[in-house]
Homo-oligomer: A and B are copies of this chain.
Amino acid sequence: MSKNAEFIDKLRSSGLRPTKQRLKICEVLFNRDKTFHFTINDLSKIISDKLGEKISLATVYNTVHAFKNKGYLKEISINSDKSYFDTNISNHHHFYDQDTNELIDCDNELIGNVNIKKNITGKKINSVEVLIKVASDNQNQN
């Protein structure tokens, strides 16, 4: 399947028609090898600065949220002021570089099974995620 057909498929299955704005967003998000961790602002900047296109913020928000709801993107909360999205939708963990504010993937197999010796009655576990905050040695914490 061509990249473009993939994008159209992703959009259709998210309940969205494949318009040129949405396809442009797909290119930025899904046409890459490695995980992409981004904020809406990052994404918007890439589209306007690097690609010279202009897509309204509302469309970016709508499209990203549709992908998130469908499961093509994950949302990650590290701190209150920014919301990150992640193109790696597998179960995985993160390093968070407090110096650069960057997220780095940490695949599941790089973390021994998390052994949870407690359970909440009547509730089932939906996800288990580990966040490892790192910084240069002479640095402040968060």
> Chain A: residues with CB nearer than 8 A to chain B?
75, 77-80, 82-83, 95, 97-99, 104, 106, 109-112, 114-118, 120, 122-137, 139, 141-142
Contacts and interface: CB of A to CB of B under 8 A. Distances in A.
Copies of this chain, complex-wide, total 2
Contacts of A130: 114, 128-131
Main secondary structure of the interface of A (DSSP, over half): strand
Contact of A116 (B97, B111, B118, B124): B111
A120 to B, nearest CB: 5
29 contacts: A77-B79, A77-B80, A95-B120, A95-B123, A97-B123, A98-B126, A104-B120, A106-B116, A109-B117, A110-B116, A111-B114, A111-B117, A112-B112, A112-B114, A114-B130, A120-B134, A123-B137, A124-B135, A124-B136, A125-B132, A126-B133, A126-B139, A127-B131, A127-B132, A127-B142, A128-B131, A128-B132, A128-B133, A129-B133
